[in-house]
Structure 1
Amino acid sequence: MTTRSEPAADRTDPSLGAIMSERRRLINLAYRLLGSLADAEDVVQETYVRWYTLSREQQEAIVSPGAWLTRVAGRICLDLLGSARARRESYVGAWIPEPLPDRTEWLDGRPDGGGPADPADRVTLDESVNMAFLVVLESMTPAERVAFVLHDVFRYPFAEVAE
């Protein structure tokens, strides 16, 4: 026996799609700040927990949910980077970054990637740029790292980052 179900729009939160569409961007932000995909996913999960603990009125009062989620994720990353656990865990060997599951997120969005024509040269260039980027991030303090990634990678103005 089949029953007629309600349309999907009636059962779900209308803003759910807008909130969940930010997931990839939040994971990229947290990964670039923390250097660990597992920690990045934990940060995004905590960010969503904080969003859904807000009352309906508080959620509706937020003009830009994406900006709110980015701000909260950045602050959680900053807290995590400054925590005692992060200070205790210092690797003594050469630090090798984790591979990302989707490398297209690192490209600048152009179909040709704007790089060399030979695919092997492109891979070598991508790896060296990624490693240089991670070395620069590793040399920064947590606050500098958050400001750098939000401004230079995600193009937030410094005034908004400072808030």
Structure 2
Amino acid sequence: MANRSETAHGQRPDPGLDAIMSERRRLTDLAYRLLGSLADAEDVVQETYVRWYGMDRPQRDAIDSPGAWLMTVASRICLNLLGSARARRERYVGEWIPEPLPERREWTDGVAADPADRITLDESVDMAFLVVLESMTPAERVAFILHDVFRYAFAEVAEIVGRTPAACRQLASSARRRIRDAQAPAGPTTAQAGIVREFKQAWA
């Protein structure tokens, strides 16, 4: 009844829980690619939703595209986390290895694994790719993922990263060079990724 009344007075209807929660997988996909940790990615998604529902109704109504708002907020949270994580990793002894994504059967076996709450990634997001992402600066990583993977325009990336579109274009270009340089057939990144996969299989 309230929704019909508000609509009659010219207010847009609330996007609703289903519409907002339908962005969950996309947000988790973004956060996992940026952070390399499924646990951290899920924390980012949770914090993003906390901020959405922390606004009052008029504030949410003023947002033209809730999905874009959620992606922007999640990206900024990830950027902040990447900055603090980079400082921690500089003090870490040894090389930092990203967290492997659970196998698909691990997402669906048992009561605790709800496929609706799990990430759906294409095959390009493997351990080798994540290791290369770890070599990028936080700004490079965010600019590259948002533009090359999620097809954001550099003007939109600039608003999230806090730099000019031209600077974001350079960041994405630098990130692509890192990926090309790491694609040598016998490169240490590829070998290391194979070792990690073998270790994970043996551990499982």
Q: What TM-score do you get using the length of structure 2 for normalisation?
A: 0.58
What's the counterpart of residue 151 of structure 2?
155
| Structure 2 gap segments, 5+ residues each | 1-13, 108-118, 160-204
- Superposed CA deviations along residues 92-134 of structure 1, whole A, max 9, x for unmatched, are 1472541245598223xxxxxxxxxxxxxxxxxx48x623321
SS at match of 1:71: helix
What's the counterpart of residue 138 of structure 1?
134
What's the counterpart of residue 121 of structure 2?
106
What's the counterpart of residue 55 of structure 2?
54
Map of 1:28-47 to 2, 5 A cutoff?
28-47=29-48
Quote the Cα distance in structure 2 between the aligned partners of 1:96 and 1:147: 19
Deviation at 1:22, TM superposition (A): 0.4
Asked whether 1:26 is paired with 2:27, we answer: yes
Asked whether 1:15 is paired with 2:16, we answer: yes
Quote the Cα distance in structure 2 between the aligned partners of 1:31 and 1:96: 10
| Structure 1 gap segments, 5+ residues each | 1-12, 108-125
- Residues 143 and 77 of structure 1: CA distance in aligned 2, closer, same or farther (over 3 Å): same
- Residues 29 and 48 of structure 1: CA distance in aligned 2, closer, same or farther (over 3 Å): same
Q: What TM-score do you get using the length of structure 1 for normalisation?
A: 0.71
Quote the Cα distance in structure 2 between the aligned partners of 1:20 and 1:105: 15
Q: In the alignment, which of 92, 95, 116 is matched to residue 94 of structure 2?
A: 92
Deviation at 1:139, TM superposition (A): 1.3
What's the counterpart of residue 3 of structure 1?
none
How many residue pairs get matched? 131
Identity across matched positions, percent: 68
One-letter code aligned to 2:121: W
One-letter code aligned to 1:53: G
What's the counterpart of residue 8 of structure 1?
none
Higher relative contact order (CA 8 A, sep 6+): 1
One-letter code aligned to 2:41: A
Quote the Cα distance in structure 1 between the aligned partners of 2:129 and 2:95: 18
One-letter code aligned to 2:54: T
SS at match of 1:105: coil
- Residues 67 and 94 of structure 1: CA distance in aligned 2, closer, same or farther (over 3 Å): closer
Deviation at 1:60, TM superposition (A): 0.6
